[in-house]
Amino acid sequence: MKLVIIKYNAGNIQSVLYALERIGTTALVTDSPDEILGADKVIFPGVGEASTAMQYLQERKLDQLIIQLKQPVLGICLGMQLMCKHSEENDTKCLGIFNSSVKGFKNDAEHSIKIPQIGWNTIYHLQTPLFSQIKENSYCYFVHGYYASPGEHTIATTHYGKEYSSALQTNNFYGTQFHPEKSADIGEQILKNFINL
């Protein structure tokens, strides 16, 4: 099993790597196209800002590479958002893998919420083997100011002011808005499930 974490200007790469080590596996952190194409599984992490991250990927042609991948790919947080069509964060065109748009949370009379959402929230309406052995309404750790709207690729839902997609999937591509690498035992099980896909 060759597991690769795509190296780019994202903040949580080390955390993802350490979480994989805790569950008894390891991964290569690389931006080499050959290494990524040759991997059995690919993790696309992300903490940061959408337009800066997309620009970085484009400059290294990683954007073209990611959409071609045929093996299971897991985008995390900003990684998942970048796999959507478009992000409101600095009006950024994204990779267009998931048929969802990314919008900013709004604190208004209708939805009195703090932004960003920071903390533990529930995931429900769970689908696909990514959530094998995960109970409905399990808690995962979220840190984000933007969210993916619900759509045909939604495989987990969370409520914060409104319902949004806390995980997405189409074909070999998976994405989670929450951080499995920081979501205690639940997160570790989800990472194991991805590895076992």
Partner 1 sequence: MLTKRIIACLDIKDGRTVKGVNFEDIRDAGDPVELGALYAAQGADELVFLDITATNERRKTLSELVNKIAHHINIPFTVGGGIASVDDVSVLLQNGADKISVNTSAFKDPTLVKDLAKEFGSQCVVLAIDTKKEADGNWYVYLNGGRVKTDMRCFDWAKQAVDLGAGEILLTSMNNDGTKQGFALDITQELSANLPVPIIASGGAGKMEHFGDVFQLAGADAALAASIFHYKEIAIPELKQYLAEKGIAMRL
Active-site residue set: 77, 179, 181
Write out the residues near partner 1 by the rule CB under 8 A: 11-12, 14-15, 18-19, 21-22, 47-49, 107, 114-122, 139, 141-145, 159-160, 179, 181-185, 187-188
Our CB check for partner 1 shows the closer of 1 and 184 to be: 184
CB 138 within 8 A of CB 125: no
Write down the least CB distance from residue 136 to partner 1, Å: 14
CB 48 within 8 A of CB 79: no
Contacts of 95 (CB under 8 A, 6+ apart): 63, 66, 67, 82, 83, 84
Our CB check for partner 1 shows the closer of 169 and 193 to be: 193
Helix (H) or strand (E) holding 93: strand 92-93
Cis peptide before 72 (omega within 30 of 0): no
Q: Which residues pair with 121 in a beta bridge?
A: 140
Write down the least CB distance from residue 17 to partner 1, Å: 9
- Write the CA distances from 27 to 1, 128, 145, 181, 193, integer angstroms: 9, 23, 29, 13, 16
Our CB check for partner 1 shows the closer of 160 and 173 to be: 160
Q: Give the residue carrying structure tokens 């080499």.
A: 32
Write down the least CB distance from residue 168 to partner 1, Å: 20
Write down the least CB distance from residue 76 to partner 1, Å: 13
Our CB check for partner 1 shows the closer of 71 and 121 to be: 121
